[in-house]
Structure 1
């Protein structure tokens, strides 16, 4: 059996864009020049003022022309975000802390609401009414999972107090004013 070296031009569709007569952008760009290879081809808009702390990627040195300023990083979630932005965007050490910071921010928001004397309506904010109306099976599953989780946590917390002291459940609950 004879080995035949396969050169690059023998690969199917190799150099398909090398023919200037077969340019798919021809109708859109009839007067093609090499100016577009020089970087920005437009006047950059005026930079938005940086009035709060903006977390920047290590991979892009300049700020975006427009960015959000309504929720600057603060508290524990802000510290986690600052840590995340010290790492490359291609690493888990960038994205996982950002996911964790989002969850921590939710808890911080609930604590802030409670400090202000407002009890958050998590039931409505999570859209449970809509879930019950349009996806009742998932809503029932969510209720069952929450009941199981709360029961497991309760059993774990009270197991040592009730069963290890040799008291009956009724006496143990009476001693904890329940």
Structure 2
């Protein structure tokens, strides 16, 4: 059997490619870029590749991990925390409890992400409450970028105001209707 022959199962036995399942013999040449790995001329990185790869400058000592002084969340798919992580906003309050529940779930579970979104919104309200407790009245509209939105995207701002007014109006109507 020469280097271009395959077995009856459709596997390359030349030793150049690892064995694995292949698709039935069909013509995919109409797909742009199909089979680019077959000819080295079609591989942009080929001239720069080396076998074995270069090892100069690759050997380095792993730095010490960042010390953990607070609760650090990590994915259930990872065995531990990453060497470096953020510490600017440690989990606290109700939003922290919501994050505790979210990080017990796998990242491929939609509840994980929805709980994290909820925790972010709860954290925003906790921040507003904390500002008010310290005697600081937050400029919510300014922090939302209303001035920039008015200056650069008036149509989008008008649409947002209309949608908000409609939601508040429907909510008020339903509230009044329920009271009768």
Query: Normalising by structure 2, what TM-score?
Result: 0.69
Given that 2:132 and 2:138 are in contact with CA atoms closer than 8 Å, whether structure 1 keeps it comes out as: yes
Matching of residue 155 in structure 1 with residue 158 in structure 2? no
* Structure 1 runs not aligned, ≥5 long: 165-178
Q: In the aligned structure 2, how far is the partner of 1:32 from the partner of 1:15?
A: 22
Count of aligned positions: 153
Query: Normalising by structure 1, what TM-score?
Result: 0.70
Q: In the aligned structure 1, how far is the partner of 2:82 from the partner of 2:42?
A: 36
135, 141, 158: which one pairs with 1:123?
141
Matching of residue 60 in structure 1 with residue 78 in structure 2? yes
What displacement does 1:158 show? 3.3
Evaluate the alpha carbon distance shift between residue 156 and residue 49 of structure 1 in structure 2; reply closer, same or farther with a 3 A threshold. same
* Structure 2 runs not aligned, ≥5 long: 1-7, 13-24, 29-33
Structure scoring higher RCO (CA < 8 A, sep ≥ 6) equals 1
Report the equivalent of 2:69.
51
Given that 2:131 and 2:137 are in contact with CA atoms closer than 8 Å, whether structure 1 keeps it comes out as: yes
Given that 2:107 and 2:113 are in contact with CA atoms closer than 8 Å, whether structure 1 keeps it comes out as: yes
Aligned CA-pair RMSD: 3.3
Evaluate the alpha carbon distance shift between residue 159 and residue 116 of structure 1 in structure 2; reply closer, same or farther with a 3 A threshold. farther
Report the equivalent of 2:116.
98
